[in-house]
Structures are given as structure tokens and as C-alpha cells.
């Protein structure tokens, strides 16, 4: 049996199996197996389908945003609107056949926007260029899911499932579980408070199926599920990525429908054709990326506000040093900081100090 058939068989068994207390354990095991096979499916192979030549684009700028959606929802139209890059637009499916990068300049940051081919149900199992598209989405900092407002229905749910099945977790935090494989000692299972959906037996069985016999598990959140625990075991194949949903073509639906769509979580409504909602979309992209702008100031020089250093959320003075120059840390004495991250401006700070958006940082060296 090939992997696809094995996956199919497990999925059928899962569908057949009624969910209740008695089958909970069996279902947990099946889910663990499913995750294992899916991981194998996604291992890069020599004879990868479709021939991916020229598909991968070098990362550039401060963050990468992937445009994911069904064919002809307006991904290329959007790229052409918000960047200077022109990607072919047409009213037939699969107009875009490769990835097309564009640059969106915003708040002094350079954001790489990747226009991608449309994907359909089954993409993760190799339909069309789906696997490559999804693999590219996995490398992004934000997935911008483009949906067609005129096609009410389950586009959103289908795409979410496709992304989920390759280990992408949208708008979720990694499960709060400490997990470490050991050389000996069996399974040590502990929790800070009794988990509602897990116990030592199911955890042990899933681990045995992964051929892990010695491990330390500490569940720090009572709401951790079997699925979450499987994610923990497969942590190296999981990506926790923000997703913003954009319904395009709102020029072609009723106001009531626009209103209904706009009320969904993490959602914006736009029309590339009529230029509606695009400024709002760009602002939402920026907010979801949680990037911080830091203005660096040299002693005796005046500040250049138009040219910030752009760093990730949770960045510290050390991150700032590393983004200025590799060797600056060696001569570091302290940083003087003006802005929201300090009580007094300026304040002397060390390498571990966390910076805030729009801080001014002056590095004092030996
Ligand atoms: N009514 C309306 N049509 C739009 C809008 N945006 C794009 N379109 C049309 O939708 C069709 C598909 O647009 P594309 O930008 O090629 O869509 P795509 O998602 O890149 O398509 P693929 O590359 O084939 O996956 C074109 O005919 C566009 O003119 C919009 O806001 N309103
Ligand atoms: K198209
Ligand atoms: Mg396109």
C-alpha cells in the first residue's frame, strides 16, 4: 500500500468510527498515525511532482506574505495593486503558474508579497502545483488568504484544511507542553493541572507508535488535546503562522453580504477592481506581522526617521545590535533608549532589554 492509500484508509476508518469515550483512545492513535504518514508524504523526494524549477523565490525584505487562494479570486490583481510588480491577470483559472514576488513598502519596511498559483481541494496531496504552493506558504510570516466574495461557500474551510494537513497552524500558539525525548527512564508524564483531553495511557501509546519509549512530558495547559500533543511530537514539521482573510470582489455582492463577510474573525473585505478596502488591508497586514521599527542614532548625528531598522516582535537590544553589524556586540557597553520600552528617556539598557515599536536606540561602545 502506498502512503496515499494508507492515509485514505485511516481517514475512512476515522470517518466510520463514532466519537465517544470508548473510542477516544483508538481515535487518538489513528490521528497520530495519520500525522506520521502525512509528514512522510511531505518529505522532499527526488521525483517531486510537477517539476519545481524556478518556483522558489529568495526571501528578501523584512517579512514574507504569501497570497493563497482558489484560482481566479484576484491574487494577481491584488499584487498588481499594492506593489509595482505586474503579474498576469485573466478571467480563466491557473493564469499564474509560478511564484511572482513583489515588494510592498510600508512604514519604512520592505514586505515581500508572493503571488502564487491558485490551489484547489487536494492541493496538499499533489493536485496541480498545490504542494509547492503550500510549501511556499509554510515559509511565510503571514498567509493572506484571498477569497471570492461572489462564491459563498466553503472555500475558506477547504483551504484551511489543506494548510492544516501539511502542518501549518493558522492563528494558533504552539501547545503549552514541555516534551523531551530521553535515552532511558521510560515515560515521565506530568501536568500542572489535570488535562481534560489527555492522560498517560494515550500519550504513552501515541509515543510508542512513534517508537519513542523514553520521554519527559509536562502538560502545562489543561485544554491540550490529542491533536495538540501530536503537534508537539512533530514540532519540527509544524509552522504557527498568522492568517488574514481577504474577501475580494465585494463590488459584485450585496451590502448585506459584505457586512456578513466582514464580521468574520481576522477578515477584511476588498475590491481590487474598484480600489476598495486596500489601504485598510495593508494596515491590517502590518499589524498582523507585529514588526517593530527601531531608529538607531549615532552619537552626534541627527535621527533619520525615514529609515528604521525593522525587527521582529520580542526583539531585544541584542537583536538590534545584530541587525546593525555582526561585530558590534563585542564592543557593546550599553544602549541609550528613548521611547515606549523605557520608564525614563533616555535610559541605559543592556543586551537583554526588549525594545518597543518606534524606540530610538543609541549603542554606546567601548
Ligand atoms: N468584479 C471583480 N473582478 C475582479 C476583482 N479583482 C479581480 N477581478 C477579476 O477576476 C479575474 C481573475 O483575476 P486574477 O487576478 O487573474 O486572479 P488570480 O487569483 O490571480 O487567478 P489565478 O492566477 O488563475 O489563480 C480577472 O478577470 C479579474 O479582472 C474585483 O475586485 N472585482
Ligand atoms: K485568473
Ligand atoms: Mg494569478
Q: Can you give 221-250 as a three-state secondary structure string?
A: CCCCCHHHHHHHHCHHHCEEEEEEEEEECH
pLDDT at residue 189, as a whole number:
96
Q: Nearest-CA neighbor of 28 among 202, 201, 191?
A: 202
Q: What is the pTM of this model?
A: 0.85
Q: Does ipTM come in above 0.95?
A: yes
Q: How far is the CA of 276 from the centre of ligand 2 (A)?
A: 20
CATH code, residues 63-172+238-289: 3.40.50.300
Backbone φ and ψ for 253, nearest 5 degrees, come out as -125, 170
Using CA atoms, how far residue 240 sits from 32, 44, 79, 167, 361, in Å, is 19, 20, 24, 9, 30
End-to-end C-alpha distance for the chain, whole angstroms: 66
Q: Which residues line ligand 1 (CB under 6 A)?
A: 69, 71-77, 89-91, 93-96, 117-118, 248-249, 251-252, 271-273
The SS3 assignment for 274 reads coil
The residues spanned by each domain of the chain are 3-43+175-237, 63-172+238-289, 292-365
Pocket test for ligand 1, best of 69, 70, 74, 98 (most atoms within 8 A of CB): 74
pLDDT at residue 3, as a whole number:
77
pLDDT at residue 96, as a whole number:
87
CATH code, residues 292-365: 3.10.20.30
Neighbours of 338 (CB within 10 A): 18
Q: How far is the CA of 165 from the centre of ligand 2 (A)?
A: 25
Q: How far is the CA of 74 from the centre of ligand 2 (A)?
A: 7
pLDDT at residue 46, as a whole number:
40
Q: How far is the CA of 70 from the centre of ligand 2 (A)?
A: 9
pLDDT at residue 50, as a whole number:
39
* Contact present, 225 and 247 (Cβ < 8 Å): no
Residues sharing a CB contact under 8 Å with residue 125, sequence separation 6 or more, in sequence order = 4, 7, 41, 131
pLDDT at residue 299, as a whole number:
74
Angle (CA) 348 350 355, round 5°: 85
Are 63-172+238-289 and 292-365 in the same CATH fold? no
Angle (CA) 220 224 225, round 5°: 155
Q: Which residues pair with 105 in a beta bridge?
A: 110
Using CA atoms, how far residue 86 sits from 77, 113, 114, 203, 271, in Å, is 8, 12, 12, 51, 17
Residues of the chain predicted below pLDDT 50? 45-53
Amino acid at each position: 500500500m502506498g502512503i496515499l492509500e494508507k492515509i485514505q484508509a485511516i481517514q475512512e476508518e476515522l470517518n466510520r468510527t463514532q466519537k465517544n469515550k470508548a473510542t477516544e483512545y483508538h481515535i487518538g492513535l489513528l490521528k497520530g498515525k495519520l500525522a506520521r504518514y502525512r509528514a512522510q508524504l511531505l518529505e522532499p523526494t527526488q521525483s517531486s511532482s510537477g517539476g519545481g524549477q524556478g518556483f522558489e523565490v529568495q526571501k528578501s525584505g523584512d517579512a514574507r506574505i504569501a497570497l493563497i487562494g482558489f484560482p481566479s479570486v484576484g491574487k494577481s490583481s491584488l499584487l498588481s495593486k499594492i506593489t509595482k510588480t505586474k503579474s498576469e491577470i485573466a478571467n480563466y483559472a491557473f493564469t499564474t503558474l509560478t511564484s511572482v514576488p513583489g515588494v510592498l513598502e510600508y512604514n519604512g519596511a520592505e514586505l515581500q508579497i508572493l503571488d502564487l498559483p491558485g490551489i484547489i481541494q487536494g492541493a496538499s496531496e499533489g493536485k496541480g502545483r498545490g504542494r509547492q504552493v503550500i510549501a511556499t506558504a509554510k515559509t511565510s510570516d503571514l498567509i493572506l488568504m484571498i477569497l471570492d466574495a461572489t462564491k459563498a461557500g466553503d472555500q475558506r474551510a477547504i483551504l484551511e484544511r489543506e494548510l492544516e494537513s501539511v502542518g501549518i497552524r493558522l492563528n494558533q500558539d504552539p501547545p503549552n507542553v514541555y516534551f523531551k525525548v530521553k535515552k532511558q527512564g521510560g515515560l515521565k508524564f506530568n501536568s500542572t493541572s489535570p488535562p481534560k483531553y489527555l492522560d498517560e495511557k494515550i500519550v504513552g501509546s501515541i509515543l510508542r507508535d512513534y517508537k519513542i519509549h523514553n520521554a519527559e512530558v509536562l502538560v502545562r495547559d489543561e485544554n491540550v488535546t490529542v491533536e495538540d500533543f501530536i503537534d508537539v511530537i512533530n514540532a519540527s514539521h509544524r509552522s504557527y503562522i498568522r492568517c488574514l482573510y481577504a474577501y475580494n470582489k465585494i463590488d459584485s455582492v450585496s451590502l448585506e453580504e459584505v457586512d456578513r463577510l466582514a464580521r468574520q474573525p481576522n477578515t477584511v473585505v476588498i475590491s481590487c477592481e474598484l480600489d476598495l478596502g486596500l489601504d485598510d488591508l495593508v494596515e491590517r497586514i502590518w499589524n498582523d506581522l507585529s514588526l517593530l521599527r527601531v531608529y538607531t542614532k549615532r552619537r552626534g548625528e541627527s535621527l533619520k526617521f525615514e529609515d528604521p531598522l525593522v525587527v521582529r516582535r520580542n526583539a531585544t537590544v541584542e537583536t538590534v545590535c545584530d541587525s546593525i553589524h555582526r561585530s558590534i556586540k563585542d564592543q557593546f557597553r550599553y544602549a541609550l533608549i528613548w521611547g515606549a520600552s523605557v520608564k525614563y528617556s533616555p535610559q541605559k539598557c543592556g543586551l537583554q532589554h526588549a525594545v518597543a515599536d518606534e524606540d530610538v536606540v543609541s549603542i554606546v561602545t567601548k
